[in-house]
Structure 1
Amino acid sequence: MMKLTSKQATLLVLAALIAISPFFFPSGYYFRIGALIFVNGIAVTGIVILTGYAGQISLGHAGFAGIGAYACALAPIYLGLHPGLAIVLGAAISAALAYLVGRPILQLRGYYLGVASLGMGILIFMVLSNERQITKGPDGIDVPELGLRALLKDWGLNLTNGEFWYAFTGLCLLIGAWIALNLYNSPSGRALRALHGSEIAARTVGVDVAKYKLQAFVISAVYASVSGSLLALQNKFVSPDVAGYMHSIEMVTMAVLGGAGSVLGAIFGAGILTLLPQALTVFAEYEQLMLGLVMILVMIFMPQGLLPSILRKFRGKDE
């Protein structure tokens, strides 16, 4: 019997969860929650590449999500682009901006890098909030239909709006996870993990540290942009909050909570942090307090993240 590789096992588990979960949904509302988990999962997969692989930190990645979201809102209006092509445009703009901004700020380390990236995210948020003539400011702007659901209906596949976005975002997440997992064992992935361990040691063995840090930053920006685009298209509306500071913090928290060194762990963290507010509605007045308490307990008792810690415990029992 052929033994599955780690990459194959991760993709198989992820695909199985996406396919099986709808059978346990008590109502159609949970298709929307599932799609939101997948959108967040795409964003945190990018954080895994930047933080888990390369060991860099960004507190401004929601800015790239904002670029992707507003590309889908504005490109059809001002450029006449189809919303699907607007996703590509948003990703290209995010990649170009990440390249230009990343060159100087990635020379910084530790919390200096975090603060610099935070400043970048705040600037993007301010532009989206203040350019009222173009973005409609804090009031937000409507986003046109993607149109793919209607096309599927013509082909005989009649899905509700929730079912369509669940399936579509789930497929996008699988593709994003596949790319990230392929990167892990590639020459570039090994170089990223080397500089995560020690930049000095990586430089000693010939790794171009600046090049690979910038590469990780650009790739993670594209992931964030695509997640923002999908969120905007799903909601058919976008406001500057998508590029807000708290959204950046949520991305990092999801990745760290589940396990920033693992694609499946980070997606697991995205699922937990997306579902937790739904579960804590019975504690409406104390929701933020309960959420913070859960996160503190995880960081104290499971510092490497929920999923890696749980798997390590089971392996220890088996041994």
Structure 2
Amino acid sequence: MKFLHMRHRGLLLLALVLAVLPLVLPNAFYVDVAIRIALNAIVVIALNLLMGYTGQISIGHAGFYGLGAYASAALTTHFNWPPLAALAAGAAATGLLAWLMARPILKLKGHTLAMATLGLGIIISIVINNESQWTGGPDGMSVPAFTLAGMTIAGETSWYVVAAVLLLLMTWLALNLIDSPVGRALQAIHGSEIAARVAGVDTTKFKVRVFVLSAVVASIAGSISAHYIGFITPGMAGFFHSIELVTMVVVGGMASVFGSIIGAALLTILPQLLQTFEGWEVVVFGVILMATMIFMPKGLVPSIAQRLRSRRKGNN
């Protein structure tokens, strides 16, 4: 109960930070970075449910992100669909694809599972590149503004509210899922799939469901990002974006919802800060990641929390 209470205190703290943040950020550039952090964090939280809590590796989730973005772009541009309907259609199509692929893919384990998800992501990226009549091909395409009930969401302030509310909602859903029987089943699968089966857990069903959930969330975030940015390219569905998402999970902390947010924040801000190194930013970025993995192998948030608990025990 105490741990549950701490989690909900964390949610209240996150809500407070999100409420205060736009008041202290100096200009629109920083608000834009905050929006991108929130959208990345939404995807990373869902991916952490799959990787950190269930123990299933996926390095192709940028493909689902790209599907959502391009579904919204294509349906609103070529067929004049309302943006919300396009977003829902993209999420439904992505969920269906993830469900169809989940059963054969999730039978694999370890590096073979990673390669299968990588292959799925690469296939999605290739399709987006080749279907230029619908996607604009390698040049990308423009995305219409997001309108809802005759109102257009425009400007950093409005988009910040949307991103902050969605991040809070995703965090609340993830925390409640983890504390539910479903969450305990997912963690049992991570601990030992054989033991979970012996205990009566339908491991295939739960793995498929969390895979589909993480894919749908990635699709929705991709759609929102597409309308916010206003222009998309196939790179958002590419391999390197998938690696970025996985790195955010690992650096922030596996099996840590708030670690996902910290990881997304750090790895969204770092490229901006490292631009001053003029060509060496990738090297510095790699050194930071290596240092994190060497000295904090569980990720930032779990490692810091463990050290704080150890100090308290030592003081007592």
TM-score bracket, shorter-length normalisation: over 0.9
Higher mean C-alpha deviation, range 72-81 or range 304-313: 72-81
TM-score (norm 2): 0.94
Match of 2:280 in 1: 286
Q: Counterpart of 1:171 in structure 2: which amino acid?
A: V
Asked if 2 retains the 8 angstrom alpha-carbon contact of 1:47 and 1:260, the reply is no
For 1:227 and 1:296, locate their aligned partners in 2 and report how far apart those are by CA, in whole Å.
28
The CA deviation at 1:311 is 2.2
Question: Quick check: 1:227 aligned with 2:221?
Answer: yes
For 1:226 and 1:133, locate their aligned partners in 2 and report how far apart those are by CA, in whole Å.
23
Match of 1:251 in 2: 245
1:24-35 mapped onto 2 (5 Å cutoff): 24-35=24-35
Match of 1:60 in 2: 60
Identity of aligned pairs, percent?
A: 46
Asked if 1 retains the 8 angstrom alpha-carbon contact of 2:58 and 2:114, the reply is yes
Question: Quick check: 1:49 aligned with 2:37?
Answer: no
Higher mean C-alpha deviation, range 117-126 or range 140-149: 140-149
For 2:297 and 2:225, locate their aligned partners in 1 and report how far apart those are by CA, in whole Å.
30
Asked if 2 retains the 8 angstrom alpha-carbon contact of 1:69 and 1:230, the reply is yes
For 1:303 and 1:96, locate their aligned partners in 2 and report how far apart those are by CA, in whole Å.
35
Question: Quick check: 1:81 aligned with 2:81?
Answer: yes
Asked if 2 retains the 8 angstrom alpha-carbon contact of 1:256 and 1:305, the reply is yes
Match of 1:271 in 2: 265
- SS of the counterpart of 1:67? helix
The CA deviation at 1:133 is 1.2
Q: For the structure 1 residues 297 and 238, does the alpha-carbon distance in structure 2 shift closer, same or farther, using more than 3 Å as the test?
A: same
Match of 2:167 in 1: 173
Asked if 1 retains the 8 angstrom alpha-carbon contact of 2:145 and 2:152, the reply is no
For 1:278 and 1:152, locate their aligned partners in 2 and report how far apart those are by CA, in whole Å.
29
The CA deviation at 1:3 is 9.9
Question: Quick check: 1:133 aligned with 2:127?
Answer: no
Q: Counterpart of 1:192 in structure 2: which amino acid?
A: L
Q: Counterpart of 1:194 in structure 2: which amino acid?
A: A
1:112-131 mapped onto 2 (5 Å cutoff): 112-131=112-131
Alignment: residue pair count? 312
CA deviation string 1:172-218 (max 9, x = no partner): 11111111111101111111110000001001111111111111100
CA deviation string 1:80-101 (max 9, x = no partner): 3211221111111111000001
2:234 is matched with which residue: 229, 237, 240? 240
Match of 1:298 in 2: 292
For 1:17 and 1:80, locate their aligned partners in 2 and report how far apart those are by CA, in whole Å.
38
For 2:267 and 2:167, locate their aligned partners in 1 and report how far apart those are by CA, in whole Å.
17
Question: Quick check: 1:12 aligned with 2:6?
Answer: no
- SS of the counterpart of 1:46? helix
Contiguous gaps of at least 5 residues in structure 2: none
CA deviation string 1:143-184 (max 9, x = no partner): 11002598389xxxxxx6111111111111111111111110
Contiguous gaps of at least 5 residues in structure 1: 154-159
Match of 1:156 in 2: none
- SS of the counterpart of 1:129? helix
Q: Counterpart of 1:174 in structure 2: which amino acid?
A: L
TM-align CA RMSD: 1.8
The CA deviation at 1:4 is 7.0
The CA deviation at 1:260 is 1.9
For 2:15 and 2:289, locate their aligned partners in 1 and report how far apart those are by CA, in whole Å.
27
Match of 1:102 in 2: 102
The CA deviation at 1:313 is 2.0
Asked if 2 retains the 8 angstrom alpha-carbon contact of 1:149 and 1:164, the reply is no
Q: For the structure 1 residues 105 and 318, does the alpha-carbon distance in structure 2 shift closer, same or farther, using more than 3 Å as the test?
A: same
